[in-house]
Structure 1
């Protein structure tokens, strides 16, 4: 670690009392100020995506809700307004992509799974523009299983000898000669599932030095006092007698070790040992998601002990770091404190079982509403079968655990159970085998002080809507072209125009408000220059995490269940297709970007002329056609000064700027519905226009106007239009007897179920013809960051004859 970092670290330590524990840290102290400064400058966003299920067939629709919170306090954020959602295959290629609008209540959307997808496990990931500044390991990720019932599963052949992933983790980080240490191990199969094993630590002479067994999910520990001269090896044996051998991690001749133990009286004891001669000081620094909880300096000869009150630590994962006298981090350890008061969600169906095509009333309530905390819930109700091996996701375990740990966490919900010895041991083993992923000391201590210049992030938060980025360069040399005004527009209604000026690196940026659905965009400069090359950047991230997808594990023995669900899906598509595909269009400002025009003309109220020049000269008072050097130009009067602008006005057709007025004059006026005129100077972004003339066709589709071939025209997806979840009703005596089949296996989806002031919410829906056990899954979040998850079951049986 650089010398100046150690100086900064010890400066921070001695700005506060030598011992800080069991009390709130002063807000003005050095460490608090430094960490708060870091947290504000490098805002960490967290996303969690609740999908309606975790197993799908092609032809079905995946519904999802996005929760968006601050990474430290888990409170809803109002910074980014767009989240990017992708479905990646095993080659990390995006097979589906979409952009979803975000607000403080999160966002929601859907993805139709086409029949072109092959059966397999896919990675769903979500991130914001700001999150692209950091590692892709920070993105939200979850594994989904998708089966294409119209193609062979193509399952991999089972290996006779399984390939086990064996990892060893000395507590604190390293093994040091002559110092006793705990070593954690994790044994997993190719799919990432833990394997139950027994093990032996053997010396070079095959003497058994330790015996051990895995505890939960293939994770366990053993103790060793290593000698650099002894060759160690570890033998693991699974339940079928197959063995795997690994060497002990590197043994260092000198260094430090740490040991964390939970003692009585709600205390943690952290013991630091060293074999270095002349050691003087060690320091313990602890934070919970970048909020400092402990800072303590102690003298050390061979051993020293820190006693920490667990009440000092925040809920969730705390990160302990030991520094030597030079400020170099020498040991690290994680500790998990179960959230004391998660959001308690209660679910109560009005009956334990239902007949087909009958009404279900399901009450949801949260315990914190008595304190004025209303909750935002997402709820899915689907048929439970053996096809899906995992639940659709738990907000509580993700925020408090999974999002702060490296690597795959098997069954994270297990660790959030009410505490007992077994869960506590498994949790501590998990902390030993998974590192912290959201924090580096160098980033904190090197962050610039307030008022100093910060390194520029390439991606900015999308505060007001979708940002479209691009570049302008020389088409021959590739050199970026600065200071060029560029226009982006999309023909249609309402009329919108976006203007950007390229910076010193040729970069342009357009902030797109109310930009929804698949659109055709036009990007151009003025004047058109054939030497300019305009490139629009792909908004999706090109970096990927280290996550590996497990192989598909759907057994051929489940063919009948797959067939049943596939038939139900096809029945729904055949008989209900038109009803289930309905979209909710957002409420947007329908007026043009220039607001109310000074003059507006509906041409249908006038006698039609065959030429545009006659229309402009006879009817449109605010437009002055002039010819200069044999070419037409259009001017407007400079109101209220009764003079004519010296420069031509901005002319648009359906929002697309036009620069060849000869083509405008030759265009048929019979295709024009309306002409708006702005008769004064108009600012938009970095550009100033001497008036605006806006032509609008009947359909807003340019009506065949010949655009300049040098401009850039491409299809671009805006924010996703929200699809409405269809809920059939059987509330009349005749409807339940309808012969129209109802094959729904997903009965209900509501991404925004709000509780009232008393903490109560209600969902009402009808069962289908599909009998079986149904699960209700709910995730929820309050405005102050209280998260919770809950599920319950009910039965659907055949209707009585």
Structure 2
């Protein structure tokens, strides 16, 4: 995690507590060298029909803060037979990314699976990659999906794994099913020799977990009988009662985590015991205990901890694990920010205009916003940003509806019982103590990276200079690279969508190589095969009968798909009219010619030096900008003017490549075609939310107004594939006559913006239009305070 947690010590009852154990050294190495990423993926809907666009927003975390390790996210779509039917690669900006997957209209009705991972995550267990089933309907498919009430299985987990004679023990009961798990179930415990007497009874908390207490006695055999509301029953034997051992009992309250060590008839071979507490593989607590006294309780203050899973492990003096327990820190008080919406205007009339403002908070560069017809289910109702961050991102077993443990009406006892049934599998203590760490096969790259090879007359060309002339929508960009001793070179840190063409030429005066050389490229990134089996789901396929008709909900979605196509066509037509009307605006035309999509923002100041502005008297472009851009100031450092925007150092780009202020300090303004100052978040930014100064140099074109720079001759051309381009969700504007003739509007997603700029105004305004019959709206807003490692999360139904 970005902020190091403080190591808390308990009073040592033996020798020096500060002596570092092998376990401590091992966990420090694991934390520093093997950080663990996890993913949350929010979809715009929970189910789809064939032909729709599946849209997603991704958050990649390193522990409990957004990850700075990976800059690319890989997504794959599988059918139920594990055949890959689609894949995407998207860039990550401060751990966040978004995109869409077009579901072919030919897809058969079935359950499909989205897999999301980073290259760094592929070094570790696949259990922690993101896999989500997605329901796709298709009324023309020969088979249809129906609910599958499959067999379920119950398992028992005594707290800390010990079942000791005479000790009152909490026992978690875990339900797992290949289909729909029972929502209502109960159980009781009997002595096998006296089956007519119920020792204790309990009712399951939810579809995952239940809990009971029992004081076992040596020589007794206990059996658990679990029964669901349909009368299905299962018998489970409890563990054999032991006459000796060590156990740990844990209680988490608002202020402290309290634990008690219990023991019975243990040997005196161990001179002391060590208790280590870790959060996100980071050591946060240590205690050394010489003798386990009956009923001795220890307390860990929550003051220096964070919400998340704390692993408490008891070691003997040989550093063998004696007992282990997972517990959630402060489940009663979740540290979550929630915006208070302002200027709320929500109506339930057909096609009405609705709006609200999100108050500005300087800790957020952007928000993710989804507004739905409240009758449509969101994926956040099952697995939320909070549950991925704090629970399922760190455990490997399937959990039904994990979001329930982090809602306003959450059951903290159920969450604790769930963690009794879990083990921390990010690492194994015995393995890392012995020095057995994961093998790193995939290093994270900075965005796109390509390996090139130069051949001359069919042989590798070492130490050879090559000119590369890129064309990415913002004019030519010339780079010179030099091959290594084997003829290879690497292009790093590229960000572009779809494809990018470029030409190349040897930087040599020799004519003998003009037709006898070549440059080959291969990407330094790969989609990595998935070896595990896909998870089971609660649906199965059955033949569709001739008289089967689609449900009302499916008909609504089909109608919405057709409506969305009409909306998109009208928006495109409107944009084409706008573009034609704006051709006379030469500055906008120049901006479109020179700047790529990643360097465009709704909050930018553009200065046109070709058509508009006379800079003949300007000495330095940054000095010229000062006084013309609100919030821009210059500070002199070692004789160089450093630009600051809103009091913070900002980034300079030259033809959309990172540049330093001294690189442009002596640049003639006659060489500049356009400058734009971007305020707030933009997709191509490296410097967070503080915007940038983008300078574009003059290039040759037909009107003769731009300087024509000499270009290398006899160029050869090649194309590189980049990130997958996102298709935005087009929204109707019913105040415009263009949308008046839409017959029916049954859209369930009314607004979707995975990167809503949060820095440019005092508050962030948002507008959307209702469908034909929605009476309530589900509004979901997500963000992450990277300064304080606190999620922002809003998920409410209004009005």
Cα deviation for residue 184 of structure 1 reads 1.0
> Aligned ranges for residues 403-414 of structure 1 at < 5 Å?
403-414=393-404
Secondary structure in structure 2 of the residue aligned to 1:97: strand
Q: Which of 767, 771, 776 is the aligned partner of 2:779?
A: 776
The question of 1:280 aligning with 2:271 is answered: yes
Q: Which moved more, 1:431-440 or 1:515-524?
A: 515-524
> Aligned ranges for residues 162-177 of structure 1 at < 5 Å?
162-176=150-164
Q: Please give the alpha-carbon distance, in whole angstroms, between the structure 1 residues aligned to 2:488 and 2:427.
A: 31
Cα deviation for residue 157 of structure 1 reads 8.0
Q: Which of 491, 497, 514 is the aligned partner of 1:516?
A: 497
Does the Cα contact within 8 Å between 1:394 and 1:779 map onto a contact in 2?
A: no
**Which residue does the alignment assign to 1:291?**
282
> Aligned ranges for residues 722-737 of structure 1 at < 5 Å?
722-731=726-735, 734=737, 737=740
Change (3 A) 1:96 1:492: same
> How many residues end up aligned between the 2 structures?
645
Cα deviation for residue 239 of structure 1 reads 1.1
Q: Please give the alpha-carbon distance, in whole angstroms, between the structure 2 residues aligned to 1:171 and 1:503.
A: 61
Does the Cα contact within 8 Å between 2:116 and 2:130 map onto a contact in 1?
A: yes
Does the Cα contact within 8 Å between 2:43 and 2:54 map onto a contact in 1?
A: yes
Does the Cα contact within 8 Å between 2:382 and 2:403 map onto a contact in 1?
A: no
**Which residue does the alignment assign to 2:139?**
149
Does the Cα contact within 8 Å between 1:515 and 1:718 map onto a contact in 2?
A: yes
User: Which string of whole-angstrom CA distances, capped at 9 and with x for unpartnered residues, describes residues 211-255 of structure 1?
Assistant: 333233342223445567554432211112221122224666754
Q: Which of 695, 710, 722 is the aligned partner of 2:714?
A: 695
Q: Please give the alpha-carbon distance, in whole angstroms, between the structure 2 residues aligned to 1:45 and 1:20.
A: 34
The question of 1:201 aligning with 2:192 is answered: no
User: Which string of whole-angstrom CA distances, capped at 9 and with x for unpartnered residues, describes residues 133-190 of structure 1?
Assistant: 111222234333222233244335856xx41122221211243566553321112433
Q: Which of 749, 754, 757 is the aligned partner of 2:752?
A: 749
Q: TM-score, normalised by structure 1?
A: 0.68
**Which residue does the alignment assign to 1:457?**
440
Cα deviation for residue 540 of structure 1 reads 1.5
Change (3 A) 1:741 1:181: closer
Change (3 A) 1:126 1:347: farther
Change (3 A) 1:386 1:38: closer
Change (3 A) 1:267 1:232: closer
User: Which string of whole-angstrom CA distances, capped at 9 and with x for unpartnered residues, describes residues 482-537 of structure 1?
Assistant: 99999999996557889897999x999753613421579999999999xxx99878
Cα deviation for residue 127 of structure 1 reads 2.0
Q: Please give the alpha-carbon distance, in whole angstroms, between the structure 1 residues aligned to 2:465 and 2:217.
A: 69
> Aligned ranges for residues 560-575 of structure 1 at < 5 Å?
560-574=552-566
The question of 1:189 aligning with 2:177 is answered: yes
Does the Cα contact within 8 Å between 1:342 and 1:787 map onto a contact in 2?
A: yes
Q: TM-score, normalised by structure 2?
A: 0.68
**Which residue does the alignment assign to 1:246?**
236
**Which residue does the alignment assign to 1:326?**
318
Change (3 A) 1:792 1:203: closer
Does the Cα contact within 8 Å between 2:504 and 2:715 map onto a contact in 1?
A: no
Q: Which moved more, 1:350-359 or 1:485-494?
A: 485-494
Q: Please give the alpha-carbon distance, in whole angstroms, between the structure 2 residues aligned to 1:374 and 1:233.
A: 53
Cα deviation for residue 457 of structure 1 reads 2.2
Secondary structure in structure 2 of the residue aligned to 1:335: strand
Secondary structure in structure 2 of the residue aligned to 1:261: strand
Secondary structure in structure 2 of the residue aligned to 1:722: coil
> Aligned ranges for residues 362-761 of structure 1 at < 5 Å?
362-365=356-359, 369=361, 372-374=362-364, 376-385=366-375, 391=381, 393-418=383-408, 423-442=411-430, 445=433, 457-463=440-446, 465-468=447-450, 511=492, 513-518=494-499, 539-544=526-531, 548-552=535-539, 559-574=551-566, 576-577=568-569, 579=571, 585-587=597-599, 693-696=712-715, 717-731=721-735, 734=737, 737-738=740-741, 742=745, 744-756=747-759, 760-761=763-764
Does the Cα contact within 8 Å between 1:185 and 1:220 map onto a contact in 2?
A: yes
Change (3 A) 1:344 1:135: same
Q: Which of 784, 790, 796 is the aligned partner of 1:792?
A: 796
Question: Structure 1: any 5+ residue segments left out of the alignment?
Answer: 1-14, 449-453, 473-480, 597-674, 679-692, 703-712, 796-801
Q: Please give the alpha-carbon distance, in whole angstroms, between the structure 1 residues aligned to 2:381 and 2:96.
A: 21
Q: Please give the alpha-carbon distance, in whole angstroms, between the structure 2 residues aligned to 1:727 and 1:50.
A: 20
**Which residue does the alignment assign to 1:361?**
355
User: Which string of whole-angstrom CA distances, capped at 9 and with x for unpartnered residues, describes residues 591-635 of structure 1?
Assistant: 999x99xxxxxxxxxxxxxxxxxxxxxxxxxxxxxxxxxxxxxxx
Cα deviation for residue 738 of structure 1 reads 3.8
Secondary structure in structure 2 of the residue aligned to 1:762: strand
Secondary structure in structure 2 of the residue aligned to 1:695: coil
User: Which string of whole-angstrom CA distances, capped at 9 and with x for unpartnered residues, describes residues 319-378 of structure 1?
Assistant: 111112211112111111235431122345733423233321122347xx4xx5336310
Q: Please give the alpha-carbon distance, in whole angstroms, between the structure 2 residues aligned to 1:290 and 1:121.
A: 35
**Which residue does the alignment assign to 1:645?**
none
**Which residue does the alignment assign to 1:12?**
none
Cα deviation for residue 300 of structure 1 reads 3.0
**Which residue does the alignment assign to 2:697?**
none
Cα deviation for residue 403 of structure 1 reads 1.5
Secondary structure in structure 1 of the residue aligned to 2:396: coil
Q: Please give the alpha-carbon distance, in whole angstroms, between the structure 1 residues aligned to 2:485 and 2:233.
A: 62
Does the Cα contact within 8 Å between 1:585 and 1:721 map onto a contact in 2?
A: no
Q: Which moved more, 1:540-549 or 1:324-333?
A: 540-549
The question of 1:84 aligning with 2:74 is answered: yes
Cα deviation for residue 26 of structure 1 reads 10
The question of 1:220 aligning with 2:224 is answered: no
Does the Cα contact within 8 Å between 2:163 and 2:240 map onto a contact in 1?
A: yes
Q: Please give the alpha-carbon distance, in whole angstroms, between the structure 1 residues aligned to 2:223 and 2:467.
A: 65
Does the Cα contact within 8 Å between 1:179 and 1:274 map onto a contact in 2?
A: no
**Which residue does the alignment assign to 1:107?**
97
Change (3 A) 1:224 1:414: same
Does the Cα contact within 8 Å between 1:47 and 1:126 map onto a contact in 2?
A: yes
The question of 1:59 aligning with 2:51 is answered: yes
Q: Which moved more, 1:439-448 or 1:740-749?
A: 439-448
Secondary structure in structure 1 of the residue aligned to 2:552: helix
Cα deviation for residue 289 of structure 1 reads 1.8
Q: Please give the alpha-carbon distance, in whole angstroms, between the structure 2 residues aligned to 1:167 and 1:489.
A: 62
Q: Please give the alpha-carbon distance, in whole angstroms, between the structure 1 residues aligned to 2:288 and 2:657.
A: 64
Q: Please give the alpha-carbon distance, in whole angstroms, between the structure 2 residues aligned to 1:447 and 1:144.
A: 40
Secondary structure in structure 2 of the residue aligned to 1:345: coil
Q: Please give the alpha-carbon distance, in whole angstroms, between the structure 1 residues aligned to 2:76 and 2:494.
A: 22
Change (3 A) 1:222 1:82: same
Cα deviation for residue 260 of structure 1 reads 1.6
User: Which string of whole-angstrom CA distances, capped at 9 and with x for unpartnered residues, describes residues 743-777 of structure 1?
Assistant: 53322111122435998422112234454543222
Q: Please give the alpha-carbon distance, in whole angstroms, between the structure 2 residues aligned to 1:206 and 1:104.
A: 61
**Which residue does the alignment assign to 1:690?**
none
Secondary structure in structure 2 of the residue aligned to 1:723: coil
**Which residue does the alignment assign to 2:607?**
none
* Cα RMSD (Å): 4.9
**Which residue does the alignment assign to 2:130?**
140
**Which residue does the alignment assign to 2:617?**
none
Q: Which of 345, 348, 358 is the aligned partner of 1:351?
A: 345
Secondary structure in structure 1 of the residue aligned to 2:555: helix
Change (3 A) 1:150 1:575: farther
Cα deviation for residue 577 of structure 1 reads 3.9
Cα deviation for residue 306 of structure 1 reads 3.8
Q: Please give the alpha-carbon distance, in whole angstroms, between the structure 2 residues aligned to 1:251 and 1:546.
A: 36
**Which residue does the alignment assign to 1:763?**
766
Secondary structure in structure 2 of the residue aligned to 1:586: helix
Secondary structure in structure 2 of the residue aligned to 1:62: strand
Cα deviation for residue 459 of structure 1 reads 1.0
